[in-house]
Structure 1
């Protein structure tokens, strides 16, 4: 199992202790260090090279947001950041410094674990470094629980996004496969000549489309809407079909 090193930073002792406890009870996380201010955190990040920093925003002298900007401007020193704060108005600013997630205090272990799992997924996808599948390839491997499952491209009807997972619908008596990967990451691996994203939550197999209406496609009896931002590229495909 991949282990991710973490640093917890918070000037509130109880909040810091809670994050430390959550890290320690999560099997794939390791607490490398913790501290109560962003200045000390900068030195610890340089020394420990953590994968994740759970970072409070409102701290004296140097705020968590200011630390995140410093890290962003330091080549080779940008761990994944999860902001922890009692104020929700920092969310947009947090995404400007590429924060992976944003935990609003008081947060539960379930919320903490969801953020940690998101980073584990991103890290695993990066380390696996799979090459995109080409039009000549006939299958893909997807991680399903603790196994890598081989799926034939010709069997895929459509792919549905379920938050951090995708559900792959197969042409095999309503069979589906659930895999921990984002729809965007999977889209980048699939051959564009065979698959197309037509909605923020759906990728379809072009060969499996059985009918087209003004605003949707049909794969068998399943109707899938074409999202507004995907209508023009999809229209280009349809125009070629109807020539």
Structure 2
């Protein structure tokens, strides 16, 4: 097993990587930390093979921590492409640009697995986390959301609206593309350029319209065939 530590000052980014790590049989999640100083202390205790490290953090940047972290493999994560060259000068394994797709994540960890000669393990089902955190209306505020409570997600420019039971809504600073990466599939599926739905809450699928609770949403042509394939596969 490759023991992984994730350090990022944004809980949503931690949740995405933790979810990805749990889905890979040869990876083991040691811890997720938002404080880089606490992360450095954890690294100094040993027993970490692979570090996922954000660059832009308060108190101690990822590149500063990189100079102190000792002998472990490092994958840098950041929303800023201009830091890539600095990372590779420190001999990191890979550089992941946010939002990080699962496919790109797998390509990065495969670079670590090969040199360590980790024997292949049979695939196993790992249930996704029950909840995750999204950004609130202030920089330091995060809201806890249960996956099962999300009925559908609606795009609002650089924000999204999470529609929850009893008419509750959460507006958070995420793009719909980021939410596609964050939400487990299934049950979540993008059905339109502006909507992601939870298949657990779908009542009726009728042509290019999908009924989710008491709301009718359009199904885009780009996503229609994939949706109908899932419907046909679920029939008895």
Larger Rg: 1
